[in-house]
């Protein structure tokens, strides 16, 4: 295929991304959700840092992971943002207009994925930075001091930077997972049920099963436990899966959901 034949497709994608961005930014509901993502993530993280205690040295807690606690509830809002991008159009019938304007359905899904990724990435970055700053401010007053073996949180520290950047990517991947699922099921409520069930199923099963090997395996393949491994900065050898490998597992879940959603979008009528 020549470079010239690729240009119309690239131009079409740019125009579709612009159209999707216009739809999202003119919907006040999405703006409030993104602000809610920042507020909930930062507030829960600050609360976790404010209530944590380390009265003696070697208290066995990971201060970075504590400071990023809010990412777990924040992921629900990220999923809602993504689900509404597709579910709202199916609920109102606007999807017919969208597909009439852009007949190539993979372009529509790619544009929605780009807009969702960009907005969640921006909101997630602010939320994670606020969480790290809250931890840096609050944890030393609760015993997480150099005297107890804990340096002040800093993004110049490699493991802390990896945990923070990985948490932002985690939120983006959860949003893409939700986008793919909603594109496949075409219903907002059902999609949110599937997304939350998929995220929390593996942690729940880990609390039910008694076999250590099976529990470890569930933590390795579950999108939430595997993905959140990227936040760990201590005792990495005892993790069921490595930080980046765990985020890779979540990326595979998101890619699989988008593949299924894209296939359904192409093969079924709107």
Q: What is the 3-state secondary structure (H, E, C) of the chain?
A: CCHHHHHHHHHHHHHHHHHHHHHHHCCHHHHHHHHHHHHHHHHHHHHHHHHCCCCCCCCCCCHHHHHCCCHHHHHHHHHHHHHHHHHHHHHHCHHHHHHHHCCCHHHHHHHHHHHHHHHHHHHHHHHHHHHHHHHHHHHHHHCCCHHHCCCCCCCCCHHHHHHHHHHHHHHHHHHHHHHHHHHHHCCHHHHHHHHHHHHHHHHHHHHHCCCHHHHHHHHHHCHHHHHHHHHCCCCHHHCCCCHHHHHHHHHHHHHHHHHHHHHHHHHCCC
pLDDT, residue 4, reads 42
d(CA 14, CA 17): 5
> How high is the pLDDT of residue 270?
63
Ramachandran sector of residue 58 (left: φ over 0; alpha: ψ -120 to 50; beta: rest): left
Q: Which of 129, 154, 155 is nearest to 74 (CA)?
A: 129
Kindly list the domain boundaries of the chain, sorted by start residue.
10-267
Q: Cα–Cα distance between 264 and 270 in angstroms, integer?
A: 10
pTM (two decimals): 0.94
CA distance 137 to 247: 28
Q: Residue 149's pLDDT is what?
A: 86
User: Which two tokens mark 28?
Assistant: 């006040």
Calpha distance 189→80 (Å, rounded) = 10
The pLDDT score that the predictor gives to residue 25 is 87
Q: Report the alpha-carbon distance of residue 197 to residue 73 in Å, rounded.
A: 14
Whole-number pLDDT of residue 28: 85
Q: Looking at residue 9, what is its pLDDT?
A: 65
Q: Which two tokens stand for residue 58?
A: 């070697």
**pLDDT averaged per 10 residues in sequence order, the chain, 270 residues:** 47 88 89 97 97 84 96 98 94 89 92 97 98 96 90 94 98 98 95 96 91 93 97 93 97 98 88
| Dihedral angle over CA of 237, 241, 246, 250, nearest 10 | -160
What region does 143 belong to: left with phi over 0, alpha with psi -120 to 50, or beta? left
Q: What is the predicted pLDDT for the residue at 2?
A: 41
């Amino acid at each position: 295929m020549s470079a010239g034949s690729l240009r119309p497709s690239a131009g079409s994608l740019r125009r579709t991304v612009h159209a999707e961005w216009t739809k999202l930014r003119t919907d006040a509901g999405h703006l409030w959700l993104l602000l809610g993502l920042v507020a909930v993530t930062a507030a829960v993280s600050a609360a976790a840092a404010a209530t944590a205690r380390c009265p003696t040295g070697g208290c066995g807690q990971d201060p970075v992971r504590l400071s990023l606690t809010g990412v777990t509830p924040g992921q629900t809002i990220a999923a809602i943002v993504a689900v509404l991008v597709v579910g709202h159009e199916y609920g109102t019938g606007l999807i017919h207009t969208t597909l009439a304007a852009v007949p190539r359905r993979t372009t529509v899904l790619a544009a929605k994925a780009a807009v969702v990724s960009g907005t969640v990435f921006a909101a997630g970055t602010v939320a994670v930075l606020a969480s790290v700053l809250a931890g840096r401010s609050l944890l030393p007053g609760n015993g997480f001091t150099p005297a107890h073996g804990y340096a002040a949180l800093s993004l110049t520290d490699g493991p802390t930077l990896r945990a923070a950047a990985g948490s932002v990517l985690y939120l983006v991947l959860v949003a893409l997972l939700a986008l793919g699922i909603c594109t496949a099921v075409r219903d907002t409520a059902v999609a949110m049920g599937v997304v939350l069930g998929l995220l929390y199923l593996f942690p729940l099963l880990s609390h039910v099963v008694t076999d250590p090997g099976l529990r470890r395996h569930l933590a390795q393949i579950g999108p939430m436990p595997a993905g959140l491994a990227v936040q760990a900065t201590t005792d990495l050898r005892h993790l069921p899966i490595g930080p980046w490998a765990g985020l890779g597992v979540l990326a595979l879940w998101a890619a699989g959901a988008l593949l299924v959603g894209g296939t359904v979008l192409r093969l079924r009528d709107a």
